[in-house]
Amino acid sequence: MLKLLALDRFTLLLFTMVLLASFVPIYGHAADIFSVVTNIAIAILFFLHGAKLSREAIVQGIMHWRLHGLVFIFTFVFFPALGLLAKPVLVPILGQELYWGFLFMCFLPSTVQSSIAFTSVAKGNVAAAVCSASFSNLIGMFITPVMVSLFIFGHSKHDYDPTSSIIQIALLLLVPFILGQLLRPYVFPLMAKVPSIVKAFDQGTILMVVYSAFSSAVIAGLWHQVGIGTLVALIISCSVLLTIIMLSAFYISRLLGFNREDQISIFFCGSKKTLASGVPMAQILFIGQPLGMIVLPIMIFHQIQLMTCGIIANYLAKQQSDEETLVRSE
């Protein structure tokens, strides 16, 4: 079972990376080497993600096209629409660059690993969650750069062409994922023997990316630009956004007649944003921009979604167990 303690441990490690970058940022030639190592780790991570996804899950998941369509709408329509509508409120509070980060977060695909894990804990449709979250990440490699081009750089970079960014993202994330899929028969049995190492590598890669991004941001003066008041406003903004999305996913999936298992999959896959894909994408899409300001919203949103979804997943699991016990007793 996914425990809140485990989530808290990873959350603490993420904040530790931010603190480490704040006091001991990596820079110069060491930063260049660390960046190369981090990119290699990211490529390996997506290779492993590709190897995890079974063909059976793809076939089984494709049958749930209504579910995937709804998750797609939440991820790439509803989230961005809320982010754009919030502009008149958020820009005066957060500032232009931090709002760009908030909007970029709204454009990102769903997270893969935690969406599947939470769906499993809450006893939802795991096969559909695997397919939906993976599909979201794959299509997000193309949709996110286009949205950034249209809605963030549309007014400030009239000659910005997302094509080169899409190619870079595909080479870093998509190609390793496809290779993982092709080599799954050979790689997955080895991964299954050492799940703790795979998980540690997954989380370690994210920690490396966060440390690298925040080191650059601290050197550029991040904490001189973001005060306590702004940080609190950002936390509240992310919390409100997540609440609106979660309530919408819960009620809309129920109104559309999905069963309990599918509702859980929609709830967890449609309400999340990926940190693992988000930071590498930001590094490619926002060259020359204050990267720390861009990735700070997704980092905060990531912590909020993990802690909130952990509580909800465990509650739903307990509720299901209680119902099954009641049925057996009758």
pLDDT tens sequence across 186-232? 999 999 888 888 888 877 887 887 788 778 778 877 777 788 899 89
pTM for the model: 0.80
Mean pLDDT (whole number) for 7-28: 80
Mean pLDDT (whole number) for 94-102: 93
Instruction: Give CATH for domain 4-319.
Output: 1.20.1530.20
What are the structural domain ranges in the chain? 4-319
What pLDDT sits at residue 15? 80
The mean pLDDT value of the chain amounts to: 84
Q: Residue 64: helix, strand or coil by DSSP? A: coil
Containing 53, the helix (H) or strand (E) segment is none
- Residues in the chain, total: 330
What pLDDT sits at residue 273? 93
Q: CA dist 280 to 170, 171, 318, Å?
A: 11, 12, 37
Dihedral sign (CA 297, 241, 173, 263): positive
CA distance linking residue 215 with residue 292, whole number of Å: 8
DSSP state of 289: S
Yes or no: say if 78 and 241 are a contact pair by the CB < 8 Å rule. Answer: no
What pLDDT sits at residue 155? 55
- 73-76, Cβ contacts within 8 angstroms, sequence gap of 24 or more: 74/245, 74/248, 74/249, 74/266, 74/270, 74/271, 75/109, 75/110, 75/136, 75/140, 75/269, 75/270, 76/107, 76/109, 76/139, 76/140, 76/143, 76/147
Mean pLDDT (whole number) for 74-92: 96
What pLDDT sits at residue 242? 97
Q: Which two tokens stand for residue 117?
A: 């894990």
pLDDT digits (tens, 9 = 90+) for 132-171: 888 888 899 899 999 998 898 875 554 556 777 788 888 8
Yes or no: say if 257 and 118 are a contact pair by the CB < 8 Å rule. Answer: no
pLDDT digits (tens, 9 = 90+) for 160-196: 567 777 888 888 888 888 899 889 999 999 998 888 8
Bin 221: left if φ > 0, else alpha if -120 < ψ < 50, else beta: left
pLDDT digits (tens, 9 = 90+) for 225-277: 788 899 899 999 999 999 999 999 999 999 999 999 999 999 999 999 988 78
Q: CA dist 235 to 27, 91, 113, 144, 277, Å?
A: 28, 15, 23, 23, 21
Q: Which two tokens stand for residue 32?
A: 């260049």
Comparing CA positions, the residue from 43, 202, 70, 47 lying closest to residue 132 is: 70
Q: CA dist 271 to 12, 238, 252, 299, 306, Å?
A: 22, 12, 13, 15, 11
Residue type at 141?
A: M
Q: In whole angstroms, what separates CA 113 from the centre of its chain? A: 9
CA distance linking residue 47 with residue 31, whole number of Å: 24
